[in-house]
Chains A and B, each alone.
Chain A
Amino acid sequence: MARAITTQRKTINTLFAWAVGLIIFFPILWIFVLSFKSEGDAIKAPFEVLTSAWTLDSYATVQDRSDYFKHFWNSVTIAVGSTLLGILVAVPAAWSMAFVPSKRTRGILMWMLSTKMLPAVGVLYPIYIGFIKLGLLDTRIGLVIVLMLINLPIIVWMLYTYFKEIPGEILEAARMDGAGLREEVMYVLTPMAVPGIASTLLLNVILAWNEAFWTLNLTAAKAAPLTAFIASYSSPEGLFYAKLSAASVMAIAPILIMGWFSQKQLVRGLTFGAVK
């Protein structure tokens, strides 16, 4: 990489790339701006919007009128709950497939991947009616279970690709040094597996947070996470740009920040290790 790059060329690259980046990012930036405006100002022409007064009112209104934090908390419970449950189920499976592979391991992994491809709408009614029968409709536990199941293949796959990278020799070395199974797991394997598990956790919380088929169809007022809560703005009354912006900013901010930290894992997780 010792190529000399002229400052001029680098400047042009920089300007061009920043311009493109800002255009792509603009909608997010714009709702951020609108969320600090009054409803009256938020629908003005863009230049007038910028010069109008800034206010925190919308954030307060969203909370007062619709109990925003209830929905926020629903999102947290559902996203984190489904991911943790999924990891609990997936760790032993991925572990055994990575360290004790058999002839069937490959087939099982492929089959798990194929369940991810099942179009949700194809099984909408059975799940819907099942939820009614079991009293799970509009409950958080119901969504935790469904989102755990739809993300389980990705979780298993991600963990598997991470575990595969732990060299088996290191276990043998530990054993030679007299480590028992307990020490082996606690002091050798776990520390090496933690980064992989953490990445998997991060990406799957993001995916579960943004899931918008089951959350829209299986919740009503009580267990609705932010995806469904925001959707209730699709038939608004009166002025609502500022409130919609405030609600949206709060809904996407935590995940945006997590997402920026998980760029690498995103590629790996969503391509099932096909691109690293």
Chain B
Amino acid sequence: MATQHSQSAARIMMAPAVILLLGWMLVPLTMTLYFSFKKYLPLRGGDLGWVGFENYTRFVSSSSFWPAVATTLIIVGGVLVITIFLGVLLALLLDQPMWGQGVVRILVIAPFFVMPTVSGLVWKNMFMDPTNGFLAYMWRAFGAEPVQWLSQASMPSLIMIVSWQWLPFATLILLTAIQSLDSEQIEAAEMDGASWFSRFRFIILPHLSRAITVVLLIQTIFLLSIFAEIFVTTAGSFGTKTLTYLIFQRVLESQNVGLGSAGGVYAIILANIVAAFLIRIVGKNLDA
């Protein structure tokens, strides 16, 4: 059906999007690569010449590199475990027959639409503040000493804030997947005497595995680059400096562009490894 003529028309129609994205990808990427091989300090002398791989080795050997990697992994891992575990439970719950299902669903997904700076600041001040925060009052009401959330328990606090934001996403996708499950299959299993647990273990969970993988990968991509939540709460102190935040500080705060760019290249490589898995899964779906 596709004629020579329509093929070339199609190419012209695609051109603007392809050219824009190509430019968006190649130009900054090339510049980052270029800077990463230079000693470049805009505020202290500017371009100080080529340095080979020095920035790459210095970035990795700096004392803040491994802690930043650990912080990143803990945040990403922590949020993934919490959101997927609770997300499955919530999706199962929301799938049950009840009154006001639509309203409950709206309540549960609401945090996803709250902008990151708002959720960061609201949690930091109205909830986690050790004097006036909601949690401090709760703790005192039970006679306990309020927790200095963002300084003494900075990582759990941050993981909690980010999980609150992403739990709706996991829940919504898992719920969509559960609802696409053939209810006759479950009923048949029920009639054959399968317990609730084995129905979950052998029918629902296998059915969800794909959705769980998708949630896992997409969240990983987004979580690797969380920024605003840290920016407005701890600004990278109290051991919450992620790789993203470390690079941001190198580039914009201390204006060591060469070093930061080398860090950026590491971040790009890391994201690409995750992306390769995601793209394979999405691609499989494209054939179906």
Residues of B within 8 A of A10 (CB): 97-99
Stretch at the interface among A52-60, A105-113, A182-190: A105-113
Residues of A within 8 A of B31 (CB): 123, 125-126, 129-130
Cβ contact within 8 Å between A121 and B108: no
Which chain B residue lies CB-closest to A255? B113
State which residues 3-20 of A face B: CB under 8 Å.
3, 5, 9-10, 13-14, 16-18, 20
Chain B interface SS verdict (over half): helix
Q: In which size bucket is the chain A interface?
A: 35 or more
Q: Is B43 an interface residue (CB 8 A)?
A: no
Cβ contact within 8 Å between A45 and B137: yes
User: Chain B nearest CB: distance from A210 CB in Å?
Assistant: 4
Which chain B residue lies CB-closest to A22? B107
Q: Is A272 an interface residue (CB 8 A)?
A: yes
User: Chain B nearest CB: distance from A183 CB in Å?
Assistant: 18
Stretch at the interface among B51-59, B74-82, B219-227: B219-227
Chain B window 1-22, contacts with chain A (Cβ cutoff 8 Å), 1 for yes, 0 for no: 1100011011101101110110
Residues of A within 8 A of B112 (CB): 259, 266
Q: Is A167 an interface residue (CB 8 A)?
A: no
Given A28-B110, A125-B35, A126-B27, also A21-B104 (CB < 8 A): yes
Residues of A within 8 A of B248 (CB): 121, 124, 217
Q: Is A78 an interface residue (CB 8 A)?
A: no
Given A46-B137, A213-B225, also A125-B32 (CB < 8 A): yes
Cβ contact within 8 Å between B283 and A231: no
Q: Is B173 an interface residue (CB 8 A)?
A: yes
State which residues 98-134 of B face A: CB under 8 Å.
98-101, 103-127, 132, 134
Complex CA–CA separation, A217 to B253 (angstroms): 11
Cβ contact within 8 Å between A13 and B113: no
Q: Is A241 an interface residue (CB 8 A)?
A: yes
Question: What are the 9 tightest A-B residue pairs by CB atom distance, in nearest-first order?
Answer: A212-B228, A96-B10, A123-B28, A122-B264, A259-B113, A92-B13, A126-B31, A21-B107, A117-B275
Chain A contacts to B: CB under 8 angstroms: 1, 3, 5, 9-10, 13-14, 16-18, 20-22, 24-25, 27-28, 30-31, 34, 43, 45-46, 89-90, 92-93, 95-97, 99-102, 106, 108-110, 112-130, 149, 152-153, 156, 168, 206, 209-210, 212-213, 216-217, 226-228, 230-231, 233-234, 240-241, 244-245, 248, 251-252, 255-256, 258-260, 263, 266-267, 270-276
